[in-house]
A and B are shown apart, each in its own frame.
Chain A
Amino acid sequence: MNKDASKTDLSLFVASFRRWRYKLTYANNKCLFSYILLAVSLIRDAFEGKIQYLQIMDELGNVDSGLFPAELTDDKLVEMLKLMLLTRNADQKAVSLQRQGRSATYAPSLGEEAVNIGTAAAMRKNDIFVPAFRQHGVYFARGLPLHLFYMYWMGFEEGNMIPPEVRGFPMSVPVGTQMPHSVGMAFAQKYKKTGNAVIAYVGDGGTSEGDFYEAINFAGVWRAPLVIIIQNNQWAISIPRSKQTAAETLAQKALAAGIPGMQVDGNDAVAVYKATAEALKNAANGPTVIECITYRAGMHTTSDDPNKYRNAAEVEEWAKKDPILRMKLYLTKKGLWSDQIEAQAVEEQKKLIDAEVEIAEGFKPDPKSMFQNLYSFVPETLDYELKDSEANNFWQGE
């Protein structure tokens, strides 16, 4: 993780100081002497452009108790696992609907559930999120009615009628273009003194977009209350992470904007939670970039066949690091999870999903809504087109 970034810039020093503080928080069991050693080494690391990496729960469900966030109670952990399962089950259903021709192209989130649920669990009630397009779990965790999710993927704008209490925005299909929005939203929180922070999501591919660089740059200058989650799933359709950038980490891009950047094990929901919660707590002082290392276990979208460009061995290797698997192992060891509990949870979730899909499939589009929601008024010229179609029954044509 060593980097040869600028070694003298003051902003780097500020960034290093912040990271040092985070790390002290993480190492809450250490003695004063190790604090000092740690602090010195971290400041040095930051001057060398090194990026810290956080993992709390390993692939076998063993946790580092010294780093484990105390506020993650048993109930909260079980809830997180259930939400990850819901995300996976809702995802499976969406793929199946597409395969049956009941839905349009879909972008699955298989294997990336820990990034979604770990970050969402860290959000405070009024924090705001700005997704890319593979954050389905975030919507679910924030209480989006599932039928809206299915309506979006069935091809209806009405799926974007997100209730205000979800505190989230619609997906952004043009890659990376949501990033400047998130900075403006964070600016607005500061301007209106709400005390809320904004979480923005972007993929590994998205970090190559100009809008990503412009956004982190603006965020740094404005010290915007913003947490940027890079959901690095290693693949941008068929382009591997190695062809996306020569930079050793994506997190280090933050340093160029004068803001702290770090990496976490993105399949470790606990580490994702902890890093996000810390960054949100610190958001009043400025933005943070968190690169979550995860893996797109499935296809880019239902129109894609990943076997064309990546080998099975890689997929198998990552399957061992599955985020749900390790959470189950951990909670089972703690006596909080069992096959029985799981079977019951899955049954309930599938019932909910089926009911929500039924609502979504019952939606009848009204072509007039296309015209009535473009502006705050319907211009006469547009109204003429609407009435022309209506009067001549064009909408009933083949």
Chain B
Amino acid sequence: MLVNMVSAINNALELSMKENNDIVLLGEDVGRDGGVFRVTEGLIDKFGEGRVIDTPLAESGIIGTSIGMALSGMHPIPEVQFAGFMYLSFSQIVNHAARYRSRSRSTFKVPMTIRTPVSGGVRTLEHHSESPEALYSHIGGLIVVEPSTPYDAKGLLIKAARMEDPVLFLEPTRLYRLFKQEIPDEAYEVPIGKSNVIKAGNDLSIITYGTMVNVVKNVVDKKKVDAEIIDLRTINPLDEETILNSAKKTGRVIIVHEAPLSFGVGAEISARIAEKGMFELKAPILRVASDSLPYPFPGYEKFYIPNDRKISNSIDKIMSV
């Protein structure tokens, strides 16, 4: 099927719900309205109000009740309308979803996939363009994934829905309808914790994910540089092996993400390469990210999100060493 990311996720939800009766969808406007991005469109007609549940407007309630369902043998897939509103459920995610298993030594489990749209670039109002993956990866106990293609979105979501762990499934709004891709009709899994080397190369490694994957690809194509591009797909747990192998092979590493620079995923990857592969590097590790600011109003976002010029500049810099 030739689909965009919205349809790929919709299809993954449908297949997962057919496969497992304990899966329910819940969230604000996910039912009749099909979600504000139409990701759950049509599912209420296929599965009924009993499994596609329009909830009251309360994010902590959505995640908290989902945790209760998960602890009772169900597999909820709650949607939080925007990642910026997910902070209202931060306590539930951090205090309970992430640690219920460890604090009961696996006696109790929280099989749950939280879906939420992330990142900007589509001129939304304030609080609608957050990139919070580092926050959630820092906690421990949460699996954090972020697809950049329709194929990965479907495969990762199906995999998440079959796991007994809490998974945070981050959907870049900019990629929802950006392009279509041919993907299998049937259910398939994309492994969690494995990154994807989307282009092999020898001169430098660019490690990225989410909204930045396509931006990086375009810059690399244009510059005709022999870069290896790694799409993380899973932020936590990090695929350290693939990262280190690539870093050691090329000796030059740039990490690119839309989330702000400081204390981010780039810092984590950079530190791991420094700890375990520094003497095989030819140049200092560079990070390209949004500046260390909260996400701005839409009128300013083009000055904020890393663009081709910023990435290109870093490539020139690292290749000149």
Contact = CB atoms under 8 A, between A and B. Distances in A.
B68 A183 contact: yes
A382 to B, nearest CB: 7
A346 to B, nearest CB: 32
A187 interface: yes
Contacts of B71: 169, 181, 184-185
A311 interface: no
B250 to A, nearest CB: 21
B107 A161 contact: yes
Contacts, number: 136
A369 B95 CA distance: 19
B104 A160 contact: yes
B104 to A, nearest CB: 4
A130 B58 CA distance: 21
A62 to B, nearest CB: 41
Interface stretch (A119-127, A212-220, A291-299): A212-220
A184 B67 contact: yes
A253 to B, nearest CB: 15
A177 B76 CA distance: 18
B105 A188 contact: no
B92 A180 contact: yes
B74 interface: yes
Given A157-B102, A217-B58, A379-B193, A182 B107 contact: no
A182 B69 CA distance: 9
A180 B103 contact: no
Nearest to B240: A381
A390 interface: no
A136 to B, nearest CB: 17
A211 interface: yes
B247 to A, nearest CB: 15
B91 A177 contact: yes
A interface: dominant SS: helix
B141 to A, nearest CB: 5
B269 to A, nearest CB: 11
Interface string B231-259: 00000011011000000000000000000
B80 interface: no
B24 A380 contact: no
Given A157-B104, A192-B73, A375 B96 contact: no
Nearest to A216: B61
A170 B24 CA distance: 25
A180 B141 contact: no
B294 interface: no
B107 A179 contact: no
B196 interface: no
A323 B107 CA distance: 34
- Among A157, A180, A211, the most chain B Cβ lie within 10 Å of the Cβ of A180
- Among A170, A218, A382, the most chain B Cβ lie within 10 Å of the Cβ of A218
A218 B65 contact: yes
Interface in B103-126: 103-109
B72 interface: yes
B55 interface: yes
A375 B141 CA distance: 6
A189 interface: yes
B170 interface: no
B240 A374 contact: no
A374 to B, nearest CB: 5
Interface string A152-175: 000001101110000001101010
Interface in A218-263: 218, 221
B5 to A, nearest CB: 26
Contact of B68 (A180, A214, A384): A180
Contacts of B109: 376
- Among B61, B96, B108, the most chain A Cβ lie within 10 Å of the Cβ of B61
B267 interface: no
A181 B76 CA distance: 12
A375 B165 contact: yes
Contact of B240 (A174, A192, A380): A380
A312 B107 CA distance: 43
B64 interface: yes
B106 to A, nearest CB: 5
A214 B58 contact: yes
Contacts of B103: 157, 160, 170
Interface in B26-82: 50, 55-56, 58, 60-61, 63-74, 76
B210 to A, nearest CB: 20
- Among A177, A189, A191, A375, the most chain B Cβ lie within 10 Å of the Cβ of A375
A370 B103 CA distance: 9
Interface in A368-393: 369-370, 373-376, 379-382, 384
Contacts of A169: 71, 108
24 contacts: A161-B105, A161-B107, A170-B100, A177-B95, A177-B96, A180-B60, A180-B68, A181-B64, A184-B65, A187-B69, A188-B68, A191-B74, A210-B60, A214-B61, A214-B64, A215-B65, A217-B61, A370-B102, A373-B106, A376-B164, A380-B193, A381-B238, A381-B240, A384-B240
7 nearest interchain CB pairs? A184-B68, A180-B64, A379-B237, A188-B72, A214-B61, A184-B65, A181-B68
